[in-house]
Amino acid sequence: MSKTFVLAPDSFKESMSANQACEAMSLGILKVFPDAKIIHVPMADGGEGTVDAVLFACEAKKVELEVMGPRAELRVHAYFALLDHGETAVIEMALASGIELLALSQRDPFYTTSYGVGELIIAALDHGAKRIIIGLGGSVTNDAGIGMAQALGARFYNKNGEELALGALALSQLERIDLTNLDARLCDREIVIASDVSNPLTGPNGASFVYGPQKGATVDQVQYLDQCLTHVATCIQKQLNVNYQDIAGAGAAGGLGYGLMVFAGARMASGVETMMNLVNLRQYLNGADYVFTGEGAIDRQTLEGKTPYGVMQLAKQFNVPVIACAGRVGDGIEELYAAGFSSIFSIVSECCTLEQACLNGAKNLQQCCESIARILHLLEPR
């Protein structure tokens, strides 16, 4: 009797997309179970690959356009998905303001902007979307979503009545906010933030201190960036009478979560749960024999809403064993097993550099899944 394998990995950052991970897993499994039924359900949690996962799994239209990139002088090719007969749009902020869009030497959160995300939102509104789901993750920005709001028509002025420049450096000059020209369509649209980040906007656990260094900020710059975001939140509280800076997820994507709540009336939602519902993962789990999932790194943080954890939690409802693969397996594995994972494997079989591991990711994942499949085959009743 043939076995059914559901493959639901996230992307392996800088190595494989979720689609490519599915392909590698499938090749390994089919070497051992040539008659297996393999179901590909590439996943994401709001970060890189979110729109691609929706386009793969759903009857969706791909809408392509050019928007401002993470730096004002850069234009990038971006796209979003339209589904539910155009009622729902799925946007991925990383396609407009993502860290992978800039070379290491170009990354500077003083000057990077979320303006392109606002342009994506406008395009979704222009296409008639009533609900817009925005995946946050993989950002190279730290501007509290002010750039996004500027694209949507909000105006921000300094004490001399001059409009603020794009980027976080100018935020310390904020004196006055004018929402007169903010896109009125936002008032009767449902805006959903899909994110696995629970950080507040400011403070030691906020956007700047936790994520600023990976975006190019020095120690001194991190402190200044946090002061800028604190100043923005203070101005917004005084002038708009809203206080969202301490809400879990406000610090997602350099504070874009905060900006979306303030200027677009967005609500927070679990990124992986939102994605599992969109791609209807549940329908594939009923009757499955095994679920394979994974991403670049698996450790204690996986329990904080990462894709493998969400997939495992849903698969538990159907009593389907879940096997996870990762490029790096870190601390906290005992906690992951206690939570319900059946087994966890590192796909790296020898000492190598990170660059080599990323380059050989698909090959290593295929070999790992073949080895796992051989163990499963040995356990099959004779």
**What integer best gives the mean pLDDT of the chain?**
94
Q: Are 47 and 305 spatial neighbours (Cβ–Cβ below 8 Å)?
A: no
Instruction: Return the pLDDT at 257.
Output: 97
Could you give the C-alpha distances from 171 to 149, 233, 251, 329, in angstroms and in order? 13, 10, 16, 39
Confirm if 80 and 124 have CB atoms less than 8 A apart. yes
CA distance 286 to 264: 38
3-state DSSP call for residue 60?
A: coil
- Residue 98 domain-assigned (yes or no): yes
Q: In the listed set 220, 237, 272, which residue is the last one of a domain according to the structure? A: 272
| pLDDT > 70 fraction of the chain, expressed in percent and rounded | 100
pLDDT at 137 over 90: no
pLDDT in the model for residue 343: 96
- Whether residues 146 and 34 share a domain: the answer is no
Tokens in use for 216? 């190019």
pLDDT tens per residue across span 220-243: 999 999 999 999 999 999 999 999
Record the pTM. Answer: 0.91
End-to-end CA distance of the chain: 12
* Structural contact between residues 233 and 145, judged by C-beta atoms closer than 8 angstroms: no
Instruction: Give me the residues paired with residue 213 across strands.
Output: none
Averaged pLDDT for residues 56-75: 95
Matching residue, tokens 């070999």 = 367
- Which residues are CB-contacts of 311 (< 8 A; sequence separation ≥ 6)? 8, 43, 272, 276, 281, 291, 293, 322
Cα gap 164→298, rounded to integer Å: 41
User: What's the whole-number mean pLDDT along residues 160-169?
Assistant: 96
pLDDT band per the 50, 70, 90 thresholds, residue 349: confident
> How many distinct structural domains can be found in the chain?
2
Question: Is 281 part of any domain?
Answer: no
Shared domain check, 349 and 327: yes
Judgement on whether residues 208 and 62 belong to the same structural domain of the protein:
yes
Residue 308: pLDDT band by 50, 70, 90 thresholds? very high
Would you place residue 360 in the very low, low, confident or very high pLDDT band (cuts 50, 70, 90)? Answer: confident
Q: Is residue 382 pLDDT above 80, yes or no?
A: no
As a whole number of angstroms, the distance between CA 61 and CA 374 comes to 39
Q: What is the 3-state secondary structure (H, E, C) of 198-209?
A: CCCCCCCCCHHH
Mean pLDDT (whole number) for 366-378: 96
Q: How confident is the model over 45-60, as a mean pLDDT?
A: 90
The helix (H) or strand (E) run that includes residue 65 is: strand 61-68
Residue 305 maps to which CATH number? Answer: 3.40.50.10350
SS3 category, 281: coil
**Whether 322 and 233 share a structural domain:** no
| One domain for residues 268 and 169 | yes
Average confidence (pLDDT) over 140-166: 97
In angstroms, the CA 71 to CA 69 distance is: 5
Q: Domain end: 222, 246, 272, which one?
A: 272
The predicted pLDDT at position 274 comes to 94
Note down the domain range covering 195.
Answer: 50-272
pLDDT in tens, 192-225: 999 988 999 999 999 999 999 999 999 999 999 9
Residue at 279 is within a domain: no
262/296 same-domain check: no
Domain annotation covers residue 251:
yes
Q: Are residues 310 and 260 in the same domain?
A: no
Res 14 pLDDT > 90: no
If you average pLDDT over residues 100-112, what whole number do you get? 93
Residue 351 has pLDDT above 80, yes or no: no
Indicate if 64 and 209 belong to the same structural domain.
Answer: yes
Give 350's pLDDT tier (boundaries 50, 70, 90): confident
